[in-house]
Structure 1
Amino acid sequence: MSATTAPLISLTWTDHLTGHRGYLVIDRLVRGVASGGLRMRRGCTLDEVTGLARGMTMKEALHHDPAARYIPLGGAKGGIDCDPHDPEAYGVLTRYLRAMRPYIEQFWTTGEDLGLTQDLIEAAAAEAGLVSSIQAVYPLLDDERAARQRLSDAFAVEVDGIGLDELAGGCGVAEAVLATLDRAGVPYEGTRVALQGLGTMGGATARFLARAGLRIVAVADVQGTVAHPDGLDVEHLLRGRDAFGAMDRTALRPGERELPPEAWLTADADVLIPAAVSYCVHTGNQAGITARWVVEAANMPVVPEAELLLAARGITVLPDVVVNSATNAWWWWTLFGDIGADADEAFAHIRRAMRALIDRMLTRAAADASTPRAAAHALVADRLPEIAERYGCHR
């Protein structure tokens, strides 16, 4: 798919009370519906949302399985240029959803993303007069009542104090790392990992990797980096984080050091996982990275120019459209009935799917002598015509 192709719909909204701007981009519709989360952050732009919407089209295509109940949707994304900590943020969110109500009712299924939780979106959606943030997909379900109950039950599942919905994406990221290590013949024990972010995605990723035997040597949040060369106590850090993923500095264990915010980038690690914000790896800081792999758990964390420089130094970037795609896929596998509201079943399904996807991508990259991102794009280009032919597509 071409990066220069215009999306189907691109909207800019201005809040009449605060002046904050919001955006909706529908890259394409498949079966008349597109899927993609809603983010809120200060500085969010239309270009950013456009890139994210295109990424969602790719994630949907990459998980297409003709034998599954889950049939892919199109890609979309929403964004609001507002600090989620701003006292006015909830009102802005509610008014944005009210303005976007016709699209959410008919075309756009959305959910949590950077700066927003699913509970917050659903509460604001109800105030905006919506049935649900994913109601556009309901007409595509064989049994809407059973499907909605299954998803509701899945959201109620907790594993060691963390909701299954929060763990699904991190399970996928962790499995992408483990599958890559397996292909390279690198043992899990002793492999060092540095992460940016201990929120929904970063926290779950850290848990799964630590339990697999990897050492989490550095974690960054909005206040800075916490590090330990022998490995951080991940479960302790998870218990002490706040709603935004910030770690409790008053409860650090012996040997855990506080370092500057950028220290996670230059940590002595084999795997670097940006799991928080977009555009955090750029030409100005990529030279300090010594990790062998950069694994994009966040959306668009590595700018293209930096990725070229990293590749020239032999550092492999595993792209977001593959790495963090399990979050979106888990929703639909559950709603459409490929899996039930069960953690073990969900994790097993995620692991199988992610290992197969990583294997296809890296095999294609080796065959084409290309980067993993180029290989992922090639896989999408192969699948989109089939999806359009089978299910209909609007661009």
Structure 2
Amino acid sequence: MSVVVEKKKQALKTSSLLEVSWTDPVTGTKGFLVIDRLVRGVCSGGLRMRKGCTLEEVRELAQGMTLKESLHFNPNNRYIPLGGAKGGIDCDPHDPQMRGVLKRYLKGIGALLRMHWTMGEDLGLQQKLIDEVIQELGLESSIQAVYPLLSDPDEAIARLRQAFSIDDDGVGLGELVGGLGVAESVLTALDQLGRPRVGSRVVIQGFGSMGGATARYLNRAGMLVVGIADANGVMANPNGLDVEALLKSRNSYGEIDRASLRPQDAVLPRGRWLAVETDVLVPAAISYCITSDNQHEVAASVIVEAANMPVLREAEDLLTARGIQVVPDFVSNSATNAWWWWTLFGDIEADLGQSENKIRSEMSRIVTDMFGRAAADGVTLRDAARAFTQDKLRTIDAQFGVS
């Protein structure tokens, strides 16, 4: 196993605190861990697995996690935001050797998992598999680094475990919270733009836990889910797809059984998802999927990022010039991370209603503030949200220090 660790100078705002590059001794697969920031000695961020994952990508994701953490800082909460981090493995999650690669990666960075990095599932990995491998390695949990910050770790762990056991009409609460945050971001954005919720159309790329839950909550709010893209293509219907039927038909990779479609539902090639006529577009699958080369195909007037970094910056500049608003990922997909910590620290109980109410109220407040700042300062939503998080980070630094 080869591990290269580079210590960065924290004085530079764009630098990471720690970057780890790992090489699998069996397959030669590359893996990365970037700790962007530590607060009270701990950082938070998921682990993704995808072919083509790079250190630069993981670095950007870690910086985004710092923003997500700070976004939800409330001095009245028990949860004090952690630092930001991210892990990534350059491996196809369908590769038969992926489990062994994952286990060797986690063993290689085990010391950081024990002491500093709290980690959960991300693109290409499921929490169930992570938990299995963590147990095989003799570690307590993928989030054990946060345990010393808890007043009663046993009670907190039991509460989080109970929360993950809650089921809402066939879908676990842990799979729903991220999409609920995205959905509330969509609905609040429509409110801020003076557009109706009921009857507005949405296209969602990706139908895993994030995309599927987003579809469910927007459908329940009266929006028409007119297009859904999975790895095998695009399903579309201008009058709305049957979201619940499609949720019941998907496999563990978020792929929809075409047998669940109705005769009036159209099946289009995978590349056609941008062109489906819609009011709102939600990329909820992969990074870097909207580029300067394809942004002209976007038919929506609002994009709400559910995936991490789906819109390239040069594409966003072109979209903004066309009058298309982009709600940034570190805002709209931040609810999963926040919900874990609200539950673990005891700001909410293991309860479906409390979880939904907390996410809805927090996301509505944050998105409303972002739109207000953008309008007042004449800047993009992303720049307004970054200004908001910088205010939060300064307060966290003053009260708790930072590494």
TM superposition score category, shorter chain reference? over 0.9
The equivalences for 1:327-342 within 5 A come to 327-342=336-351
2:224 partner letter: R
| Aligned counterparts of 2:91 and 2:137: Cα–Cα separation in 1 | 18
Which of 159, 173, 178 lines up with 1:169 in the alignment? 178
| Aligned counterparts of 2:260 and 2:218: Cα–Cα separation in 1 | 22
- Aligned partner of 2:67 in structure 1 is 58
Which of 35, 44, 47 lines up with 2:56 in the alignment? 47
- Aligned partner of 1:313 in structure 2 is 322
- Aligned partner of 2:352 in structure 1 is 343
- Aligned partner of 2:4 in structure 1 is none
| Aligned counterparts of 1:313 and 1:80: Cα–Cα separation in 2 | 36
| Aligned counterparts of 2:392 and 2:342: Cα–Cα separation in 1 | 19
The equivalences for 1:248-287 within 5 A come to 248-287=257-296
- Aligned partner of 1:134 in structure 2 is 143
The equivalences for 1:224-243 within 5 A come to 224-243=233-252
- Aligned partner of 2:6 in structure 1 is none
Which of 23, 31, 35 lines up with 2:32 in the alignment? 23
| Aligned counterparts of 2:14 and 2:396: Cα–Cα separation in 1 | 18
| Aligned counterparts of 1:329 and 1:263: Cα–Cα separation in 2 | 33
Which of 118, 126, 131 lines up with 1:122 in the alignment? 131
The equivalences for 1:180-259 within 5 A come to 180-259=189-268
Secondary structure in structure 2 of the residue aligned to 1:232: coil
Secondary structure in structure 1 of the residue aligned to 2:142: coil
How big is the alpha-carbon RMSD for the aligned residues of Structure 1 and Structure 2?
Answer: 1.2
Cα distance change, pair 323–3 in 1 and its aligned pair in 2 (3 A): farther
Secondary structure in structure 1 of the residue aligned to 2:94: coil
| TM-score, normalising length: structure 1 | 0.98
TM superposition shift of 1:356:
0.5
Residues 198 and 245, structure 1, Cα contact 8 Å, conserved in 2: yes
- Aligned partner of 2:332 in structure 1 is 323
Matched, 1:302 2:311: yes
Cα distance change, pair 347–2 in 1 and its aligned pair in 2 (3 A): farther
1:345-392 deviations in whole A, cap 9, x for unaligned?
Answer: 100000000001001111111111000100111111112121011111
1:313-334 deviations in whole A, cap 9, x for unaligned?
Answer: 0000000000000000000000
Matched, 1:77 2:77: no
TM superposition shift of 1:2:
10
TM superposition shift of 1:250:
2.2
TM superposition shift of 1:135:
0.1
- Aligned partner of 1:112 in structure 2 is 121
1:158-182 deviations in whole A, cap 9, x for unaligned?
Answer: 0000000000001100000111111
Secondary structure in structure 1 of the residue aligned to 2:275: coil
| Aligned counterparts of 2:250 and 2:70: Cα–Cα separation in 1 | 35
- Aligned partner of 1:352 in structure 2 is 361
| Aligned counterparts of 1:364 and 1:62: Cα–Cα separation in 2 | 14
Q: Which moved more, 1:375-384 or 1:135-144?
A: 375-384
TM superposition shift of 1:251:
2.4
Secondary structure in structure 2 of the residue aligned to 1:193: strand
1:84 partner letter: P
1:385 partner letter: R
Residues 95 and 128, structure 1, Cα contact 8 Å, conserved in 2: no
| Aligned counterparts of 1:231 and 1:4: Cα–Cα separation in 2 | 45
Structure 2 gaps, min length 5: 1-9
| Aligned counterparts of 1:389 and 1:147: Cα–Cα separation in 2 | 27
Secondary structure in structure 2 of the residue aligned to 1:204: helix
- Aligned partner of 1:374 in structure 2 is 383
| TM-score, normalising length: structure 2 | 0.96
1:24 partner letter: L
Aligned residues: percent identity?
57
Q: Which moved more, 1:178-187 or 1:332-341?
A: 178-187
| Aligned counterparts of 1:281 and 1:183: Cα–Cα separation in 2 | 24
Residues 292 and 314, structure 1, Cα contact 8 Å, conserved in 2: yes
- Aligned partner of 2:152 in structure 1 is 143
Which of 393, 396, 399 lines up with 1:384 in the alignment? 393
Secondary structure in structure 2 of the residue aligned to 1:307: helix
TM superposition shift of 1:59:
0.5
Q: How many residues align?
A: 394
Residues 109 and 133, structure 1, Cα contact 8 Å, conserved in 2: yes
- Aligned partner of 2:19 in structure 1 is 10
Residues 98 and 129, structure 1, Cα contact 8 Å, conserved in 2: no
Cα distance change, pair 3–210 in 1 and its aligned pair in 2 (3 A): farther
